[in-house]
Amino acid sequence: MGEDLVWWITFSLTLLSKDIFALEPNFDVPVINITVVVGKTAILPCSVEFLGEHKVVWTDEFSTLLTFDINRIIDDDRIGIDRPYTRDWNLLIRDVKVKDRGRYICQINTHPIKTKPVELNVLVPPQILNENEDGTRKEILSKEGETVNVICNVSGIPAPSVKWYRRPLEDTVGSKKERIGMEGEILVIHNVSRYCDGVYQCVASNDVPPAVEMETAVFVEFQPEVSLINKRISQEKGKETILLCEITAFPQALSYWMFQGQEIANSERLKVDIYSEGKAHTIKLSLRITNISDSDFGEYECFASNKFGRDREAMILYEFRPPKAPKPEKPVVIQPTTRSRHHVAPPVTYRPTRVKEDVRKPYTGFVGEYRPRKNGCQFLNMNLTVTIKMVFFVLLLIS
C-alpha cells in the first residue's frame, strides 16, 4: 500500500512538471511608456511568466544588443539589469541623457521571438544658451531712434516658453518689475528712446523645474534735458537761498550755473553742488548764495551738454520786500438812518416881576408839575385855579 502511494505521487509530479515546461513564456506587464528627467535613473519594466530555460534580451530601436540574461553587452556602465523579483528583467539606465530617449525592446528567445517595446521619454529643464559664463547681466548700448534686439536663446524638452519683464536700471524703494506683453526668444524695441532704458529680464519655463532667467541692461544715449523746480524765487537782502535744477542725460558730461553770461565758480558766498537721488541718468545741480546783495538779483541759467546736444533753463532771483504795516484808521461813527421821536417841550409859565420868590418854599402858583410816563413821554398836570387865572390874564391883555 505504501509503495503504491509513493508511485502515484511520483507519477503526478512527473505529469505536472511536463505541463509546466509545456507552457510558453509570456510578458505579464502591459506596455508602459517611461518619462524621466535628464540626469535621473530610468527603470524600463519587463516581467516574464513561465520563462523556463529561455533567455531575456534587451536591444535599442536600432537592434543594438544591450543585455543578455543578466549580463551587460554594451560598453556603457550606466546600463544594467534590475531584478527585484525572480520574474523581473527590468532594464536600468543611470544618469539618463538626452541621447537615451527612444524605443527599447525586451525580447524572449522563443520561436518565433516574443518582444515588448518600452518608450523612454527624457525631459530637460530650460536652459539659457547665451548667458554670460560668470552669470553677470548682459549690457546693450544704443542711441535714441535705433532698433534694439534683446536676445534670450533657450533650450529644453519640451520647448520652453519665454516671457519678458522690465524694471528700472537703478532699483529704488518700492520699484517693481513690470510684465511686457511679449513672448519669444527675441524682444525687438523699435525707435528706442530714453524712456525705454532699463533692465530686461527673460524667464524661460517648460513645467520642468527649475525655471531660469537672464537679465540684459539696455542703456540709451541721449542729449541733456534740464528742468527747474521754480523759475522765479525771491529773497531778502542779507539772507541765504538755494537755486536748484535737475539734469537728465546719458552720458552725463558738462553741467554748470551761469550768471550774466559767466560760469559761476565756487567762492565764499557762492557754492555749486552736484548730487544724485537714485534716479537713473539724473543729477541735481544746486547753487547756494549767502549774504544776498543787490548785485545777486537777476537771471541765472542752468546749463548742460554732452556729445549729443545741450539744453538750458533760466530762472529769476528777485528781491523780497516785506509789506509795511498799515496805519491805524480812525473809527467812523455811522449815524442811524431811522427817525426818532421828539419829546414835547414843556410850556413856559409867565412869572410876574413884582412877586418876589421865596427861596425857602418852592413856587407853586404858576408852575406846572411834570411827571414822566413809563413810555418816555411827559404830560402836564395843573391846578384848576391856576388855569382860570391864566385865562383871565390873557383876556385882559387882549382888551
Q: Which residue has the higher pLDDT, 8 or 264?
A: 264
**Beta-carbon contacts of residue 293 (< 8 Å; ≥ 6 apart):** 237, 238
Alpha-carbon span 316 to 72, nearest angstrom: 92
Q: What is the dihedral of CA 267, 268, 270, 276, to 10 degrees?
A: 80
CA distance 244 to 261: 18
CB 128 within 8 A of CB 122: no
% of the chain with per-residue pLDDT over 90: 67
Contacts of 307 (CB under 8 A, 6+ apart): 251, 253
pTM listed for this prediction? 0.65
Parallel, antiparallel or unpaired: strands 298-306 and 254-259 = antiparallel
Quick: pLDDT tens for 6-58.
Answer: 344 444 444 444 444 458 899 988 888 999 999 999 999 999 999 999 999 99
Nearest one of 169, 128, 398 to 280, comparing CA atoms: 169
b/e code 280-291 from CB counts within 10 Å (16+ = b): ebbbbbebebee
* 362 vs 98, more confident: 98
Angle at 19 between CA 17 and CA 25, to 5 degrees: 100
Residue 256 is which amino acid? Y
Phi, psi (deg, nearest 5) at residue 38:
-55, 140
Question: In the chain, pLDDT over 70 holds for what percent of residues?
Answer: 75
Separation of alpha carbons 333 and 151, rounded Å: 88
Q: pLDDT tens, 231-241?
A: 999 999 999 99
- The residue assigned the cell 418816555 is 376
| pLDDT of residue 144 exceeding 90 | yes
More confident call, 268 vs 388: 268
DSSP code at position 354 = T
User: What pLDDT is attached to residue 334?
Assistant: 60
Q: Hey, is 296 helix, strand or coil?
A: helix
- Range in 31-35, 146-150, 372-376 with the lowest mean pLDDT: 372-376
Task: Examine the pLDDT at 157 and tell me if it is beyond 90.
Answer: yes
Least confident stretch, 125-139, 141-155, 194-208, 320-334: 320-334
Q: List 108's β-bridge partners, or say none.
A: 56, 114
